[in-house]
Structure 1
């Protein structure tokens, strides 16, 4: 099972994610946050957005919002933004 092992804030609503298989990519959360759900509205505040943390391999925020490593990995892979380690 893939896990997030490191997350580094970049700018705006972008976070560089490092995964347990050695791959990484910069995730732009603007599309996901545009849905304006009760959980995503809090992330409109830049200071709150930057309060993310990793818990059990998932990307989380203090209000209970979390994204699984697998879903973020898949989004990065499908968008061509996932950099995989050389074999």
Structure 2
């Protein structure tokens, strides 16, 4: 249980998910480091199903991924993906 602004919640407070580092790899794979320190392997090729991510087909664009304010971005922030989405669709990496 936790309390925010005088309201008691029965569940556990969820930890905020954010990215601290990203390393693009070949074949649209990425090693993503989250705020918890956990590293996960993310397959970004699934993003190509959506029109907004079509520029990532260009390897130069994809390989220039960076982290801005806890979010992975490309093309000077024109393209981004929610860290929660990356976490939920990635695999543990050691």
Same fold (TM over 0.5): yes
Query: 5+ unaligned residues in a row in structure 2: which ranges?
Result: 1-15
Q: Over residues 22-68 of structure 1, what are the superposed CA-to-partner deviations in whole Å (9 max), with x where a residue is unaligned?
A: 11111111111133x0x312111111111111011000011611111
Task: Report the TM-score when normalising by structure 1.
Answer: 0.79
User: Moved runs in structure 1, 4+ residues, more than 6 A?
Assistant: none
Find the structure with the greater CA-based Rg. Answer: 2
RMSD: 1.7
Residue 31 (structure 1) aligned with residue 41 (structure 2)? no
Query: 5+ unaligned residues in a row in structure 1: which ranges?
Result: none
Q: Which has the higher contact order (CA 8 A, sep 6+)?
A: 1
> How many pairs does the alignment contain?
78
Task: Report the TM-score when normalising by structure 2.
Answer: 0.73
Residues 57 and 68 in structure 1, CA contact (< 8 A), matched pair in contact too? no
